[in-house]
Amino acid sequence: MSKKTHYTEVINILQELHADFPTYNLGRHLATALADYGDIWGITDKELAFALSKYKSEIEMDVPHTDDSELEKIIKEGHYVFALDIRISSLQAIEENIDAAEKMRYGYAALDVTDEKAFADVLDSAQQKFGRIDCLINNAGVMTTPFMKTDDGFEFQNGVNHLGHFALVAQLFDLLKSTKDSRLVIVSSIAHKRGEINLDNYMFENEKEYTPMKSYSQSKLSNLLFMYELNRRMKDKNVNVKVMAAHPGVSRTELTRYMLNPIVAKLMLPLFWIFTQSAKRGAQPQIRAAVDSNVNSGEYYGPSGFNEMKGRAVLVKAEPKAHHEKHAKELWDLSEKLTSVKFDI
């Protein structure tokens, strides 16, 4: 594999991955596919995030999945790795298996995107270890959960899918600004089309109004409102960071585990298979937004097929309500207030 790979070659890498590669985790597909690109990569996932940097040698892509042993291999082959995981013990174990020179290329921190208090520690670790971040992909997400709250008291879906990412980007934004040609990719969903922003009851303080899909679609519309508003504010200040959004279509991942009971899911499996795509394919729009040299700030990528459910990664259109500037500004102000994070453009 060449050290510099085009987007189309990354797609080939994804398609050639081992048949046993888990189909349920977009974060791992993203991390594995992007390992060849160098620079500092941040990929947030509910339980897993990576930052992969400056490689010196080729990476073989024939492993079943990007597990701890694969991260160790990437370090030994010359990459710089900054790993974030909700389970820090596994990251500490990697440090015990590498030599002193390799430890200079390895950093790690515990991170749960529902815990905003942990972001400062992540920022300090990233700054001290590498001092830069070339691309941050906000991939963490939950879908149609029962009503529950994060440790910070936020309704779970909007807390994880929007507020957690808003606060994380705000904390890391100085690093993105100071890194030449940096990119930010915010992962949304076709569910944003059903979304409505209710700023008076954004956290569903009135639980009677809560439905799992109403909350999820609001959070995904929030992702796009945030992306477009951030792009506008950066243009006004001449900030040279590209921000894009992408969505995976309808992918076969564990994200849908709350939607159907196991019996119904089994009965619907053949139909579900026809209208969905694998997590490998679902990762392609995010990868294209992260690496394609022709991508422009403020663009939105998704699958090319019917209703954007599956297909090739192409430029797609968000619903007009995602471009609503008044709602975007109000959501920005509310997000700063709720997270107590000041977003300095």
How many domains are there within the chain? 1
Tell me, yes or no, whether 291 lies in a domain.
yes
Give 18 or 242, the one with higher predicted confidence: 242
| Of 216, 228, 300, 301, catalytic | 216
Tell me, yes or no, whether 98 lies in a domain.
yes
Residue 316, pLDDT above cutoff 60: yes
Residue 28, pLDDT above cutoff 70: no
Question: For strand 183-187 and strand 242-246, is the pairing parallel, antiparallel, or unpaired?
Answer: parallel
Residue 55, pLDDT above cutoff 50: no
Tell me, yes or no, whether 258 lies in a domain.
yes
Q: Is 216 a catalytic residue?
A: yes
- Residue 160 tokens, joined: 């994880």
Alpha-carbon dihedral sign for residues 287, 27, 338, 221: positive
Q: What is the pTM of this model?
A: 0.73
Tell me, yes or no, whether 15 lies in a domain.
yes
Q: What is the pLDDT of residues 258-304, one digit of tens each?
A: 455 555 545 544 455 456 676 677 788 988 898 888 999 999 999 99
Q: Alpha helix locations (H) across the chain?
A: 7-16, 26-34, 68-76, 88-96, 100-103, 119-129, 156-158, 164-178, 212-237, 262-274, 279-282, 284-291, 325-339
> Tell me, what's the pLDDT at 314?
93
Tell me, yes or no, whether 177 lies in a domain.
yes
Helices (H) and strands (E) in the chain, counts: 13, 9
The answer to whether 125 and 82 have CB atoms below 8 angstroms apart is yes
Q: Alpha helix locations (H) across 179-261?
A: 212-237
Q: What is the pLDDT of residues 119-129, one digit of tens each?
A: 777 777 777 77
Residue 63, pLDDT above cutoff 50: no
Q: Which residues pair with 80 in a beta bridge?
A: 53
Q: Which residues contact 89 (CB under 8 A, 6 or more apart)?
A: none
In b/e form, how buried is each residue of 71-102, taking b as 16+ CB within 10 angstroms?
bbbbbbebbbbbbbbbeeeebeebeeebeeeb
Tell me, yes or no, whether 345 lies in a domain.
no
Tell me, yes or no, whether 230 lies in a domain.
yes
Q: What is the span of the domain harbouring residue 319?
A: 7-339
Residue 166 sits in a domain whose CATH number is 3.40.50.720
Identify the weakest region by mean pLDDT among 82-86, 269-273, 303-307. 269-273
- The band of 39, judged by pLDDT with boundaries at 50, 70 and 90, is low
Cα separation, 47 vs 111, whole angstroms? 8
Tell me, yes or no, whether 47 lies in a domain.
yes
